[in-house]
């Protein structure tokens, strides 16, 4: 893998204002993404994982400027995307495409596949007019569809086929980076495997870079080189796939991994049950955002926000944002809460 | 099938939807047993008929759908012989159901307390005071903090995980013998899913219920079920105890599902997807429904539908390979355990 930095996100913040009162003033903000930084190298797959509301999809959208980020920089190929105007940004999108979760909602129902693909090529001007028909046939074949499918409408396809059209559209402009936002989540496993294999194949053939946003850790383990774990708008852990799955350091990552049901009845279930739900991102907890549910939380976690850091025994590039990583690892810091019961009648933070 | 006594025996259940395009056989001759006190998983992909099977058990099928035939024996009594009035006494009382989306299955205009009390009023004739007392007990049982306060809250005031707990409290209010859980955790995040699945399991032990767990997630099956029925295109293709199903799957579809599953517990080089897609109802194959996607299919498979046969040890398979009539490769290996490095 080449080590060229393709995408560099620095101190990215995405707040969504909440309007209220008679004057419709901003009364508060949903801090969907709150100061995150990471780098994606050319040709690699970086996954962003986390539960609903952790900001993973918002991160993907902010990078492509589908929403306008509140603060920070997003450098793509050395250019800060947040400095570009609309027209310049549209040009950049030739190199950065997105595949959405729901392929039906993201395809125009009134356009045939041919029209959809032709429009993408025309806007970006990547293929001369006279060659477009051939290119469309070729693209459909690459994603496992037939050339005669070109004149059909989205409703005539199954979910898996529609997702292939979404992929064909993303590939039609010859991009460098594809953001896959829950791209296989809506698909049945047998079809999901087909699409995952396809994505892997294209990456090899075209040296594509993927930012893969998913809540499914099985899929993430299969497709990623590196993994970013998010919780309530913050990165809690980042590292190569092996480190994250086999040597997780942050208590949230550990709980998340232990919660996944494994398709093996003999699997040793050493489960960490987290109490309650994810708190509201409007008024996130102080200090470490995970402290309200963390089995190891102390007073310090309520007050001090932990930064991403690495220690001696962690692999290169593996970082966690927890004050107690080493002490938990060595067993010196023991859980401060029960984690083996699901019916603990502790009061949890109210949802807003 | 199993040596245990069965609480539910479904035989040749057929449910169809009559649409303009003709009859769609959503459930097409489904047969399975639920051993008392155990959990049966019904697993399958979209359109396999697993949810319609569940709805059929409680006769919740509405126009244009219709239960065409078969038998649903609950403690020896055929539910399909009952009148709607008799059925109503069973629903929510002896057999309860929880659904995938707790927000759409709770009534948004009633408080949590009113909805749980309804069960007690209908089935046990309890008044408000006694009903509330029992409702608080139920909310405590499912691990909801400060239940007295929650009683007067509306569903929108609760989080997704809490709503699902309320649904479970409602379903279990009358201590049913059988709980049907239709994708109970699909809409939830994985850390919440872990809580809810464990809760169902603990309550099952405490109350001695039997459970039918309908899911598309093989991980959930491995973790919660004792027996498994794998459905494809409205039919059961394999029925086995959970260990056998995962350690020695026999139907090519089951094997295909397991091989296409990306695992979080170990590294895999490549996924082996099942080729093609589920056939649409109007072009349903005449032979084995899985034949067009099956890597082992012969002419026989394309022409004739295999039956669901006992293959010993309480296991049942619907596949020609395991019959005397098999005319393909006699040494065919449908499943070969892969060598893996466990993490």
Residue A48 lies in a domain: yes
Q: Which of B273, B279, B289 to mutate to test the interface with A (most CBs of A within 10 A)?
A: B273
Task: Provide, as residue numbers in chain A, all residues whose Cβ is less than 8 Å from the Cβ of B217.
Answer: 261
Chain-chain contact of A343 with B143 (C-beta, under 8 angstroms): yes
> Would you say residue A240 lies in a domain?
no
Structure tokens that stand for B94 in this block: 């002896």
**Would you state the pLDDT for residue B1?**
45
Question: Tell me, what's the pLDDT at A180?
Answer: 95
Q: Above 50 in pLDDT, residue A194? A: yes
Pair A190, A160 in one domain: no
DSSP H helices in A231-323? 241-246, 251-259, 299-303
The reply to whether A142 and A193 lie within a common domain is no
CA-nearest of A215, A227, A157 to A184 is A215
Q: Out of B141, B260, B265, whose CB is closest to A189?
A: B260
Q: Inform me whether the pLDDT recorded for A345 exceeds 80.
A: no
B135 contacts B113 by C-beta, under 8 angstroms: yes
In a domain, A159, yes or no: yes
What are the tens digits of pLDDT across the range A244-299? 999 999 999 999 999 999 999 988 777 888 877 788 888 899 999 999 999 999 99
Q: Does residue A21 lie within any of the structural domains? A: yes
CATH number, domain at A210? 3.40.50.300
The reply to whether residue B264 touches residue A218, judged by beta carbons under 8 angstroms, is yes
Number of domains, chain A: 3
| B141: chain A residues, CB-CB within 8 Å | 343
Evaluate whether residue A233 is within a structural domain.
no
Tell if the CB–CB gap between A189 and B261 is shorter than 8 Å: yes
A153 lies within 8 A of chain B by CB: no
What is the strand order of the sheet A45-49 is part of? Answer: A96-99, A177-181, A209-214, A45-49, A226-231, A234-240, A319-320
Considering the domain architecture, whether residues A80 and A204 belong to the same structural domain is answered as yes
| Nearest-by-CA chain B residue for A246 | B343
Written as six digits, the tokens of A350 are: 């109210």
List strand residue ranges (DSSP E) for chain A, in order.
Answer: 5-20, 25-41, 45-49, 71-76, 79-80, 96-99, 177-181, 209-214, 226-231, 234-240, 319-320
Rounded to a whole number of angstroms, the distance from the CA of B305 to the nearest CA of chain A is 22
Chain A residue nearest residue B265, CA to CA:
A262
Tell whether A3 and A88 lie within a shared domain: yes
A287 in a structural domain: yes
State the Cα–Cα distance between residues B32 and A32, nearest whole angstrom: 47
A296: left (phi > 0), else alpha (psi -120 to 50), else beta?
alpha
Q: Flag whether A244 is in a domain.
A: no
Please spell the DSSP secondary structure of B94-132, one letter per residue.
TEEEE-S-HHHHS-TTS-HHHHHHHHHHHHH---HHHHH
Nearest CA in chain A to B247: A264
| Helices and strands per DSSP (H, E), number in chain A | 11, 11
Same domain, A62 and A160: no
Report the distance separating Cα B263 and Cα A49, nearest Å. 15
CA distance B251 to B232: 11
Candidate from A273, A343, A345 with C-beta closest to B194: A273
Would you call B343 and A246 a contact, using CB atoms and an 8 Å cutoff? yes
Is A2 in the same domain as A89?
yes
Counting every residue written for chain A, the total comes to 352
Helix (H) or strand (E) holding B181: strand B178-182
Interface of A with B in 232-271 (CB under 8 A): 245-246, 255-267, 269, 271
Which residues of chain B are under the pLDDT cut of 50? 1-3, 341-343
Q: Is the pLDDT of residue A105 over 60?
A: yes
For the segment A49-82, what is each residue's pLDDT rounded down to a tens digit?
A: 998 889 999 999 999 999 999 999 999 999 999 9
Q: Same structural domain for residues A24 and A55?
A: yes
Provide the pLDDT for residue A344. 56
Identify the DSSP state of A279.
P
Co-location of A8 and A48 in the same domain: yes
Residue B286 C-alpha, separation from nearest chain A C-alpha, in angstroms: 21
Residue A89 lies inside a defined structural domain of this protein: yes
Tokens of B71: 């038998």
CA distance B7 to chain A (A): 24
Nearest CA in chain B to A196: B271
Answer yes or no: is pLDDT of A32 > 90.
yes
pLDDT of B343 reads 42
pLDDT at A89: 93
Chain B neighbors of A222, CB-CB under 8 A: 262-263, 268, 271
Instruction: Determine which helix (DSSP H) or strand (DSSP E) holds B4, and give its type and residue range.
Output: none
Is the domain of A89 the same as that of A179?
yes
| Rounded Cα distance, A318 and A310, in Å | 6
* Number of inter-chain CB pairs under 8 A, A vs B: 159
Number of CB atoms found within 10 A of residue A32's CB: 23
The whole domain housing A310 covers 251-330
Q: Do A8 and A134 belong together in one domain?
A: no
Q: Which residues of A touch B195 (CB under 8 A)?
A: 273-274, 342
Residue A190 sits in the same domain as residue A149: no
User: Per residue in A213-229, pLDDT tens?
Assistant: 999 999 999 999 999 99
Point out the residue among B158, B222, B268 whose CB comes nearest to the CB of A263.
B222
Indicate the SS3 state at residue B179. strand
How far apart are the C-alpha atoms of A271 and A313, rounded to whole Å? Answer: 24
Among chain B residues, the shortest Cα distance to A343 is held by B143
Tell whether A217 and A206 lie within a shared domain. Answer: yes
- A349 pLDDT above the threshold of 80: no
CB–CB of A273 and B198 under 8 A?
Answer: yes
Looking at chain A, the whole-number percentage of residues with pLDDT higher than 70 is: 96
A303, two tokens: 């007050």
A135 token code pair: 């290119």
């Amino acid at each position: 893998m080449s080590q060229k930095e393709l995408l560099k996100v620095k101190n990215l913040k995405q707040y969504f204002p909440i309007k209220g009162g008679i004057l419709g003033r901003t009364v508060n903000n949903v801090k969907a993404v709150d100061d995150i930084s990471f780098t994606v190298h050319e040709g690699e797959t970086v996954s962003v994982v986390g539960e609903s509301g952790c900001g993973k999809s918002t991160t993907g959208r902010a990078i492509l400027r589908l929403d306008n980020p509140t603060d920070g920089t997003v450098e793509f190929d050395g250019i800060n995307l947040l400095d570009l105007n609309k027209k310049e940004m549209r040009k950049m999108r030739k190199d950065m495409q997105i595949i959405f979760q729901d392929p039906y909602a993201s395809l125009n129902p009134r356009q045939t596949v041919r029209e959809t693909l032709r429009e993408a090529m025309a806007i970006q001007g990547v293929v001369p007019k006279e060659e477009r028909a051939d290119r469309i046939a070729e693209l459909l074949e690459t994603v496992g569809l037939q050339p005669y499918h070109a004149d059909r409408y989205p409703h005539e396809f199954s979910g898996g086929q529609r997702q292939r059209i979404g992929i064909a559209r993303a590939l039609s402009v010859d991009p460098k980076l594809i953001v896959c936002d829950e791209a296989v989540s809506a698909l049945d496993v047998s079809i999901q495997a087909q699409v995952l294999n396809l994505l892997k194949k294209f990456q090899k053939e075209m040296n594509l870079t993927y930012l893969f946003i998913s809540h499914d850790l099985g899929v993430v383990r299969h497709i990623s080189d590196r993994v970013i774990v998010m919780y309530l708008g913050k990165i809690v852990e980042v590292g190569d796939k092996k480190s994250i799955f086999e040597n997780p350091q942050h208590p949230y990552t550990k709980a998340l991994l232990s919660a996944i049901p494994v398709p093996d009845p003999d699997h040793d279930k050493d489960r960490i049950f987290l109490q309650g739900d994810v708190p509201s991102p409007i008024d996130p907890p102080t200090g470490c955002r995970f402290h309200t549910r963390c089995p190891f939380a102390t007073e310090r976690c309520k007050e001090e926000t932990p930064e991403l850091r690495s220690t001696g025994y962690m692999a290169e590039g593996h970082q966690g944002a927890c004050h107690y990583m080493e002490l938990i690892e060595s067993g010196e810091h023991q859980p401060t809460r029960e984690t083996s019961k699901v019916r603990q009648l502790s009061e949890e933070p109210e949802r807003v | 099938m199993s040596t245990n006594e069965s609480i539910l025996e479904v035989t040749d259940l057929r449910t169809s939807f009559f649409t303009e395009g003709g009859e769609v056989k959503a459930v097409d001759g489904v047969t399975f047993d639920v051993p008392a006190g155990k959990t049966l998983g019904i697993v399958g992909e979209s359109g396999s008929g697993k949810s319609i099977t569940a709805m059929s058990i409680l006769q919740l099928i509405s126009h244009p759908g219709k239960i065409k035939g078969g038998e649903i024996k609950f403690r020896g009594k055929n539910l399909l012989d009952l009148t709607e009035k008799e059925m109503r006494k069973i629903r929510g009382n002896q057999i309860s159901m929880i659904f995938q989306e707790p927000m759409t299955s709770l009534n948004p205009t009633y408080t949590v307390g009113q909805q749980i009390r309804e069960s007690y009023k209908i089935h046990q004739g309890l008044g408000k005071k006694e009903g509330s007392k029992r409702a608080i007990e139920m909310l405590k049982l499912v691990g909801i903090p400060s239940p007295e306060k929650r009683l007067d809250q509306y569903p929108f005031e609760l989080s997704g995980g809490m709503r699902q707990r309320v649904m479970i409290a409602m379903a279990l209010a009358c201590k049913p013998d059988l709980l049907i859980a239709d994708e109970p955790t699909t809409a939830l995040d994985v850390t919440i899913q872990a809580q809810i699945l464990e809760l169902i399991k603990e309550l099952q032990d405490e109350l001695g219920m039997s459970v039918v767990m309908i899911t598309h997630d093989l991980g959930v099956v491995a973790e919660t079920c004792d027996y498994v029925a794998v459905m494809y295109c409205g039919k059961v293709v394999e029925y086995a105890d959970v260990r056998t199903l995962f350690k020695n799957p026999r139907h090519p579809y089951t094997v295909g599902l397991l091989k296409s599953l990306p695992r979080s517990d170990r590294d895999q080089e490549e996924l082996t997807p099942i080729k093609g897609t589920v056939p649409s109802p109007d072009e349903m194959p005449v032979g084995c429904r899985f034949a067009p996607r099956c890597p082992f299919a012969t002419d026989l498979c394309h022409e004739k539908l295999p039956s669901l046969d006992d293959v010993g040890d309480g296991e049942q398979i619907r596949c020609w390979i395991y019959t005397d009539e098999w005319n393909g490769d006699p040494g065919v290996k449908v499943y070969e355990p892969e060598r893996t490095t466990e993490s």
